A and B are shown apart, each in its own frame.
Chain A
């Protein structure tokens, strides 16, 4: 990772110097070692400050909508972020010629809360060491398995391959991860009884505080004005009122991104209440795959999404209602 970071810094400086781009969207060091923040770097010297380590979970593609309107922008995209980029291209939210994509290699981003949850206190630094993480604390060093500390979206990583790039750092690209188990939890929920599922979602969704972090972080939720914010839409709402509003919000949000969601996992990563929102999107992805054939949003930039498409032989809605009753 440190090698990659070094290469990225010098390469980005070079790109700014040679006029390939006038700014780079990348990650910047936060207050602590684990809270890197998306940022733009507009000079060669600033680019020396960009950070790339195992705490760069944020998907930068959405920033391009606003910041790549003018000039030429370079952006660092992890493999999973490239799907979002393609989807944004598909929907004409960004234009390819304005953007220089640097695909950065990734072998999983770390969730600091998972390390904390192991009972490790006073963490001052985390270093990668092969498959392990060396955690420095006020009370000495500890070594943990990186695999146990990954962000949810990285646990079920679907690909280490970049689906769009102008150059790759490092040069060798990864491959799709076939056995990613990303539908395991969806299947587990499906296997429950309807009552159990209801309880599960009731407990989870009632935590929602309607902060809109999931929506605002989502690279598919790119409406200029969300229906829930638009006083003229007839459905505007802010409350996390009694029982249904959060549910309505999340169903509608999932529906609006159905067939467009690339499963980048940002929604769950950013939720302050740790609601597993990705399970809603993955349900749609799973159903779309099963009913209409395998589809990965953002694999290319010219796909017609499954909900703006059809075949005359599509399954009837009864295919859902006739399923065995759990």
Chain B
């Protein structure tokens, strides 16, 4: 017979304000099976935990129900408490009377009634709990970083620095990501390339780091500590280990119509190309869609001029498989597509550009050699208008409902740089709010306004259209409450940023949860911001949410620390709530095997003694190290031979019964 203790937490007033915690404890005291019941202000506090420990000892409790906040919050805490008192940690059940009760109900009577039902359901379950012993699994001491931008590079460097092997998979031909495209960084205005490229070189030269550029993650199997990842190495048509990066091929290539991706398509490049001068690896790649040799089997000039004999027109995609203990997602972001924002005439007017395009135009290595010109005619502009929140904070459904966070600051940077370099250019900024939280951020913005006389206009732009050589911006000055029709030479759109489109696919492969905006969900928004709820998956950079470079670098380091914490373990404690096959009931039909996503179920011919009848039967056997405890098999099994420890059929039905009572 179970001896259950019930512990009702007030959570200060969080629970106690809408749930009569004393009554809950009192009612539970009279439930069959309950030998002790009490309430306390903060069960999770040391004093609260002491009450639990003492009660376990004093009343010889065999199981406990804690009525408190969500088990996602403190289940682990109370399991440890139980364990310290000598009780199996899986003899603990949580009744969530905060998130799912006190916080959503106002009426105290109603809240109390519901809390009692939830407590009864937890009691019904715990009565059927059985002590579970966690197993162990090994840890492959190697990490994978998906994405080779600043986030990925930083995470990889930090992991490698601690002495662990780490691989970076980058889908572009070079690492460097978005930061490599930036001209200057706020609020210090130091040169982006100057601070990034040394890190890129570090990454390339670190013997613990392996770079797989121009590569994509194809398939992920396994689980924390034991991921098996298939990586597609896309055909470069250039032997990576042979190419010296001399660039002779680029000089000779007659196909010059490819859009230069690095410059966001603002200019053209050859079919064989090195993305930019400081690319890592400094190796050419052939754009098969542009290459005359590959398309028409003519030309072959690059092969002729390549002294290193690095060209291989017949190269195929290659696949490699690697084992990893941990995976860092650093898949980054992109500016959103503007096809739903026709009012800005972005598609029609070359002089309407995005901020990222402006970065390239301002950059000495960019399409204009760093000279600020109108893309339509190469003329020097005299008036530039910035439009903020293009697609950010958008509730019309066309854009993103969130704030992209970095736009206010980079626009201030752009405005300041332009005014600094071209004092003759007037700069206007249409904004909804200027958001400058961050060290030295507001000071930076004020400098733009005060020192550089940038014209900030609070208001939204309704329309941008071309008129002769110029552009006309129609907007509202909300402070002056007047319509503005403003003639300008260039318009720069502070385009919202969104997670890279590959993020969703990769998250699916990793079984990491993703939110409606395709940002990867963190295990806890405050307390576990760099971990995914899926064990062994960590988040670095903008894939988790919009952030600037220092935040990205900080998070990348934090993710690396979490990875290191994992890799430094020799064994992991596995979740004991795994499936279990009852050999006496198993029909051997293999249906469970069909639905198991982990290949955790195998079949064996076993000699079974079924109440005196001995025969060899084909029965399911669960590999507990592989099973992740989803329970798909349990529902597929018609005889109920498959059951899930910790969430058994009987336990769940007991909860159902208690609720429907």
Contacts and interface: CB of A to CB of B under 8 A. Distances in A.
Interface in A41-93: 69, 91-93
A309 B636 CA distance: 11
A305 interface: yes
A225 B585 contact: yes
B2 interface: no
Interface in A292-317: 304-305, 307-309
A308 B593 CA distance: 9
A234 interface: yes
B636 A226 contact: no
Contacts of A237: none
B653 A234 contact: yes
A180 interface: no
Contacts of A93: 587-589
A233 B618 contact: no
Contacts of A207: none
A223 B650 contact: no
B649 A233 contact: yes
A156 interface: no
A224 B650 CA distance: 20
A309 B594 contact: yes
A234 B649 contact: yes
B638 A308 contact: no
Interface residues of A, number: 21
A256 interface: yes
A256 B638 contact: yes
B650 to A, nearest CB: 5
Interface string B584-616: 111111110011000000010000001000010
Contacts, number: 53
B639 interface: yes
B587 A224 contact: yes
A227 interface: yes
A305 B591 contact: yes
A92 B591 contact: no
Contacts of B587: 91, 93, 222-224
Contacts of A92: 588-590, 603, 618
B584 A225 contact: yes
B640 interface: yes
Interface string A161-181: 000000000000000000000
Interface string B568-596: 00000000000000001111111100110
A234 B643 CA distance: 12
Interface string A16-37: 0000000000000000000000
B636 A307 contact: yes
Interface in B527-585: 584-585
Contacts of B595: 308
A230 interface: yes
Nearest to B591: A308
Contact of A308 (B594, B603, B618): B594
A222 B637 CA distance: 12
Contact of A223 (B610, B615, B638, B649): B638
Contacts of B653: 234-235
A91 B589 CA distance: 4
A230 B640 contact: yes
B580 to A, nearest CB: 13
Contact of B639 (A227, A234, A304): A227
A257 B638 CA distance: 8
Interface string A201-242: 000000000000000000000111111001001110000000
Contacts of B636: 307-308
B588 A304 contact: no
Contacts of A69: 615
A224 B590 contact: no
A325 B585 CA distance: 41
A225 B641 CA distance: 9
Nearest to B649: A234
B639 A226 contact: yes
B309 to A, nearest CB: 45
B319 to A, nearest CB: 23
B639 A223 contact: yes
Nearest to A220: B638
A233 B586 CA distance: 13
Nearest to A312: B508
Contacts of B590: 91-92
A304 B584 contact: no
B591 A91 contact: yes
A168 B590 CA distance: 30
5 contacts: A222-B587, A223-B639, A224-B584, A224-B610, A225-B639
Given A91-B587, A235-B653, 17 more contacts: A91-B588, A91-B590, A92-B589, A92-B590, A92-B603, A92-B618, A93-B589, A225-B584, A225-B585, A227-B640, A233-B640, A234-B649, A234-B650, A256-B638, A307-B636, A308-B591, A308-B594
Interface of B: 584-591, 594-595, 603, 610, 615, 618, 636, 638-640, 649-650, 653
Interface of A: 69, 91-93, 222-227, 230, 233-235, 256-257, 304-305, 307-309
For the complex of A and B, the 10 pairs showing the least CB-CB separation, nearest first, are: A91-B589, A223-B639, A308-B594, A256-B638, A234-B650, A227-B640, A233-B640, A308-B591, A92-B588, A308-B595
